[in-house]
Amino acid sequence: MLELALNYEKGPIQLQLIAERQEISKKYLEQLITILKTAGFVKSVRGAKGGYELAKPPDAIKLSDCFNSLEGPVITVECIEDEKSCARISDCIIRQVWMQVNDAIENVLASITLQDLVNAAKKKDSLNYQI
């Protein structure tokens, strides 16, 4: 998604190039793209100069949206999602801690957009310490 965000409004980018840049297999990337396309974050462009691009601006896509599409909700322990998974849930003190951890992760992911990552990448690339 970051590769697509970095290329937003520059035209589609081919999966092979993304796979090479991110050092992941094209086959695995195809599986991810299918999910992201179904979720409405990515669109395909056909033709000789075709490929994939973001379906929405980078500032409209939160990391939580991407994560939830690809992985589902963040669940640190089973009892957060399924209260019936533990007979001691009503007496469990540590469950409250795990709920706070879950909420913290979700809040961080929801507070960052792809545009935030693009800005950070550009800032990193603009640092030049050559003499």
What the chain holds in terms of domains, given with CATH numbers, is 1-56 (1.10.10.10)
Helix, strand, coil percentages in the chain from 3-state DSSP, rounded to 5: 60, 10, 30
What are 4-26's pLDDT values in tens digits?
999 999 999 999 999 999 999 99
What are 64-97's pLDDT values in tens digits?
999 999 999 888 888 888 888 888 888 888 888 9
What are the tokens at 86? 């533990």
CB atoms within 10 A of CB 17: 13
Residue closest to 39 by CA, chosen among 8, 11, 66: 66
Q: Which long-range contacts (CB under 8 A, 24 or more apart) does 90-99 make?
A: none
Indicate whether 55 pLDDT > 70.
Answer: yes
